[in-house]
Chain A
Amino acid sequence: MGWIVDHPWWVIVLVGAITLLFAAFIPGIKTEQDFREYLPEDDPAVRALEQAEERYGAQIFSIIAFEADDTVFKASTLEKIKDLEDRIAEIPGVEEVQSPLTAQIITGTEAAITVGPAAPGGRVPESPEDLAAYRDRVMGSRQLRGMFVSEDGRAAAIMFKLDPRLSTVETEEIARKVEAMAREYEGPEKIYLAGGMFEALEAQRMMMRDLQVLLPIAIVMVAVVLYLSFRSLRGVVIPLLVVCLGVIWTVGAMAVAGIPFTVISIIIPVILLAMGTADGIHIVNRYYEVAARGRPKREVVVATMDEMTSPVVMTSLTTIAGFLSLLASFLVPQRQFGVFTAVGMGALLLLSLTLVPALLSLLRLPATKTKEQQLEQGLLARGLARLGSGVVRHRAWVLAIAVVLVAISLVGVPRLRLETELSQYIGEDSPIAQTMEVMDDRFGGAMQLAIEIDTGRRDGLKDPEVLAKIVALQEYLEEEPAISTTSSIADMVREMNQKFHGDDPAYYVIPEDGRLVSQLLFLFTFQGGSLGSMALGDFSAGEVFARVKGIDSTQEIEELMKRVQAYLDGNFNAHGIRAQEVGIAQVSISLLNRLVASQATSLGTSMVAVWAIVALLMRSLLAGLISLIPLVITVALNFGFMAYTSRPLDIATMMIGSIVIGVGIDYAIHFQSRFRLEYARARNPNPAQSIEQTMRTSGRGIVYNAVTVGLGFAVLVFSTLKGTAIFGSLIATAMGLSALAALTVIPALLATLRPQAVLRGEGGPKRSDQKKKDKEKRR
């Protein structure tokens, strides 16, 4: 430490150089919003989706909807649709673009049959007569009405798929390109863009907007809190500089490691700002205290750091452990978030132990009368002291109330709503949510379920019995209120059969003769018809699609899928035909199911890790346990509150437990350490007095810390992402609760338990000391 104080400029230059190096990498940081990327590659749902993509091509489609005031069957609107469709089709990586003009349609008369684009030649009809004939053709088609054109004829959709092998960056590039193109055609028609890639693009924009807005707000808020704490420039600048540099190092390290910003990791800078000031606050606080002793500057700085290194390292390590416990999570972004928040905390620790003393050694010593002396007798300290004595007097009540609150919370936990939908995380007010509404109203929903039917034998799908089962499945699906339309190879066979029989609706059935089925399908493909993913080339397997509307939560999708899977098990799997949902919905459900397991694992891991660290550092298993109790209470209350207020447990809010443990443990450590000190210092040790003095000193620090961290997190309430805003409000509340629990439950426990059991560790009186005291008393 002496070297740092003697060579402050070396440290400053070195820190500056490292900062510039990391800053240079920051522009290269990427963003990632595809929830599929959040799951590990070996996840069964991800594997099933990838296998389906290998067999059937892209499973996710995007929609561009044109909404007109009157009708889309006008040359001007159709020209726009055609032009945009052609331009999208030319983008490399785009597959299967279809519109109401080019989607295939089957028409039949007594003598002839046609399979071709809905508009002759895929071109916009020119004359009013042709336009009217085209409208009748589209609105009379089972395949097109409600799918490509809304029932009222006021909206039309271009649908397209992307090559599933495209990278996230390539997909994002296409999304931007398509969006820019589509916007050129806006007015008087309204244009809506739906689909995962547009959702991801919107999420990315919101994330970057958040970063630009929230980070400055957080900086201002932290500066205000620091000023109110120290009322001096150095008290504001030094901790703030440390956290800003820490943020640059962390984000730069993410860029170097190729870790993208996700909806989770985007909040790392704000979290570091909120939590990272704590070390600086404690060091500057002690610096003022030591400076008041009237020693030379070098000695003041060295003494400050000597006294503060141990607690700063200890609290940083426990916080790092809390965040690293997220490594136990199966969710990739949570692991990344855990690791890089821990990296950030490590960077902040390093800067606190090097840059802070270097800067302090360059500044003149402050006035001898310190804020510390003023504040120790202040209103807050007096209030906390009274709280401490009140807690000791009514400790049984305090503990009983805590138990009751935890019990009430735990009763509510089963009602917790789980959520993995990106659209839900983005929020109802976003353009994406409005688009989803339009899609639900006009096109029977933008979400699609894909059910794979695999007969396991060549031409299995041509078997009339299998086709009849598929028809029955479609009828079952269409009875579900959330499912608007379905489509399958059975539709094509029925349609071809009807058209081949002079368009007689009586023939909209599956023929009994398998050869006729084969020949109708042959005719269909011979005429240029495409079955797409409805059937593999050898007709051994294919997909049945269902459009879903009005469902916006993963749990609702899961419930629907459970019913569907039960039907599939009973009517297909039990008869040797493999049937399962293989689309993106299954990935959402997998994410959902693993959230619960992950939550339990990460909470358990962080608790054990933190307990072990505290027990080791304080050399007392009981001290470790006492530290954990306020955290358990906070976590339980948080989940209970979420359950009773319908706040979802999502990929952000599920991290609250681990963060509460990582951050909240500091309060317990500070409180117990100080309590030990006060108890050991006392001539006649008395838990009540020691608690009162602890509340007056460390209690104040805990309150400052909690307010700073809580306000820092509270900044997230201003996020444009609904999920992040909820996370911000919950974690800010949890920080307050955690501090409150530390300042009430720990003293109640310390007053109830025999202090000797807690005080055997480091910093507390040794067993031999106690014996000496006993001997002295006897004398």
Chain B
Amino acid sequence: MRKLVRGAAVFGACALLGAMAIAQGELTGNDILDQMREKGVLFLQGGDLIFQARFDLVFADGTLGQNEFKIFISEGDEATGEPDRLLIYYLAPEDIAGTIFLSVIPPEGDARMWLYLPALGLVKELISESEQGQSFAGTALTYEQIGGAVDYSADYTATRLADSTVSVTVDGASSERPVYVLEISAKPGATVDYPKGKLWVDVEELTPVRSEFYDKTGRLEIVLEILRLETFEDNLVPTLLKACNQKDKTCTTIEVLEKERATLPAEIFTPAALPTFTPEAYR
């Protein structure tokens, strides 16, 4: 279930915190995956977050869609047993505006999720049979595809290939970013959608600025790219991403519209509070 939070916060999880100073020694592929994981953890320890994002969707049939929402994230504490919390408040499209998704993830045990439908004024607990393969927040992408980037070291081993560069817009200007190129393979017994992949990991930010995932037959299926990085709290964070499924030709472009630190009370992350939740109260 932790993948859910990580997935929802992909843009933040990838780089909302600045990179730690990384020793530039001869890192192996697995070392780099470990460092990426550590950086993700550091980000979640940085305090509560609110960000507003827009998803532009291209469906397999060529039609378009758009979702806009605010995400409220509160990092838990394993020592005290405080759970991770995530709340997604939908702003658009109009017919689902006001819908709220809540997830509470204890350090041990299964996560619990609820959905509030404003048209009925009812909250229902969602019971998920399997995290994998589920679309993320109504997009054509799965949690695994979006959020899996955070903890590759758990499921994959990596082989480092020759370093390269990738073009990314940084604070409005085009920049050639040095990257580690990693070929990743699922560990035996790992429950992943994609047995193989390739990551172009920004050397400085330890963020995969380009990721490719291959299906069981070795065909390229998902391409995830970071198109824009912007400075936030003295660090570069991704604010524009594009993920495309090469098989069914679906694409999701994710743009971070606003991002801010906040102090979020634990009470808002309860099912009972959902019918009265107003995002404006936490600006």
Contacts and interface: CB of A to CB of B under 8 A. Distances in A.
Contacts of B95: 459, 462, 514-515, 518-519
A459 B94 CA distance: 11
Contacts of A511: 119
Interface residues of B, number: 36
Interface stretch (A179-187, A309-317, A359-367, A522-530): A522-530
Given A523-B117, A536-B61, A528 B133 contact: yes
A481 B87 CA distance: 50
Contact of B120 (A92, A500, A527, A537): A500
A25 interface: no
B61 A537 contact: yes
A170 to B, nearest CB: 14
A537 B216 contact: no
B115 A120 contact: no
B135 A528 contact: yes
Interface stretch (A72-80, A106-114, A770-778): A106-114
Contacts of B63: 536-538, 540
B214 interface: no
B262 interface: no
A122 B130 contact: yes
Given A500-B124, A513-B119, A523-B117, A121 B137 contact: no
A333 interface: no
A736 interface: no
A136 interface: no
Given A500-B120, A537-B65, A112 B125 contact: yes
A537 B66 CA distance: 10
A731 B163 CA distance: 73
A116 interface: yes
B65 A112 contact: no
Given A516-B119, A519-B96, A526-B137, A57 B60 contact: yes
Contact of B61 (A56, A113, A515, A528): A56
Contacts of B65: 537-538
A516 B117 contact: yes
B99 A522 contact: yes
Nearest to B137: A526
A526 B96 CA distance: 12
Contacts of A252: none
Contacts of A748: none
A121 B138 contact: no
Contacts of B57: 537
Interface in A522-557: 522-523, 525-528, 536-538, 540
Interface string B103-138: 000000000000101111010111111100111011
B99 to A, nearest CB: 6
A57 B216 CA distance: 21
A200 B22 CA distance: 61
A111 B129 CA distance: 16
Nearest to B127: A114
Interface string B49-80: 00000000111111111000000000000000
Interface in A10-60: 54-57
B89 to A, nearest CB: 13
A665 B64 CA distance: 63
A233 to B, nearest CB: 60
Contact of A522 (B96, B216, B217): B96
B219 interface: yes
Interface in A705-755: none
B119 to A, nearest CB: 4
B126 A113 contact: yes
Contacts of A538: 59, 63-65
A62 B12 CA distance: 44
Contacts of A117: 129-130
A519 B94 CA distance: 10
B57 to A, nearest CB: 7
Given A536-B59, A536-B61, A538-B64, A519 B129 contact: no
Contacts of B120: 500, 516, 519
B101 interface: yes
Nearest to B95: A518
A122 B135 CA distance: 17
A90 interface: yes
Contacts of A108: 124
16 contacts: A54-B61, A56-B61, A90-B217, A112-B124, A113-B125, A116-B130, A120-B129, A516-B119, A519-B117, A519-B118, A522-B96, A526-B115, A526-B135, A536-B59, A537-B60, A538-B63
Interface of B: 57-65, 93, 95-96, 99, 101, 115, 117-120, 122, 124-130, 133-135, 137-138, 140, 216-217, 219
Given A523-B117, A525-B135, 13 more contacts: A90-B216, A90-B217, A92-B217, A111-B124, A114-B126, A117-B130, A121-B130, A500-B117, A500-B124, A516-B119, A528-B128, A536-B61, A537-B59
